[in-house]
Amino acid sequence: MDFDTRVNRISTLIAAAGGRIETRKKLHKLAFLCQSAGDDLSQDFDFDLYEVTSPSLSADVEKALSVGSLSLGKEDDVLLLEVSREFKPDTDLLKRAGYSLVNELKDRSLPMLEVLSTIVYLNSVGYAGNLLGTKLLELKGQHKQALEEAVDLAKRYFGIECQLPAVSAGR
């Protein structure tokens, strides 16, 4: 897929999220989930430093910012990644599963998206059931408030069964 097509897909993803995304980290999580739901963004994702990231997505965003396809805005001291005003998203793309999922998840917290993307990634490399839940707790136990919601969403949107181990009261 060429650069213009990749940027069009990234811009469509941002449009599906309401036209802007608060942080680049959130963009990475939503892009990974969009692509995992079946919509090709032609990005390569890795699990690096306890989170899903994409060097190719970072490079495409930087280039898109430099040529004006994407812009940085600011609201309440938060930098926003926005699509250019001239961009008109492909309405057929917006109806597809991955972009619809982005629209569903756009207002979820970054910790919840981080946990959900970790579940989907771990499942894609062979973790399942109890083993997936144990590894998830090891990697994302600090996000206790997001674990159950992310497990529910993983099952609902991706059909992934993740069984969290019982945590003793002393922990």
Same-domain status, 102 and 136 = no
**DSSP-derived secondary structure letter, 70:** E
Name the residue range of residue 62's domain: 1-106
Across the range 76-90, mean pLDDT stands at 79
Overall residue count recorded for the chain in this entry = 171
> Can you give the pLDDT at residue 167?
59
Tens-digit pLDDT profile for residues 28-74: 999 999 999 999 999 999 998 789 999 999 999 999 999 888 988 88
What pTM was computed for the model? 0.91
Whole-Å CA distances, 151 to 33, 74, 110, 144:
14, 32, 15, 11
Task: Name the domain boundary from 67, 85, 106.
Answer: 106
Same-domain status, 9 and 79 = yes
Task: Name the domain boundary from 58, 89, 106.
Answer: 106
By three-state DSSP, how is residue 140 classified? Answer: helix
Tens-digit pLDDT profile for residues 25-36: 999 999 999 999
Task: Name the domain boundary from 58, 82, 106.
Answer: 106
* Count of domains for the chain: 2
By three-state DSSP, how is residue 55 classified? Answer: helix
Question: 14 and 21 in contact (C-beta within 8 Å)?
Answer: yes
Distance CA 145, CA 62 (A): 33
Same-domain status, 156 and 75 = no
Q: Is the pLDDT of residue 170 over 60?
A: no
| Strand positions, DSSP E, the chain | 20-21, 46-48, 51-53, 70-75, 78-83
> Can you give the pLDDT at residue 74?
82
Q: Is the pLDDT of residue 112 over 70?
A: yes
> Can you give the pLDDT at residue 89?
85
Average pLDDT over the chain, rounded to whole? 91
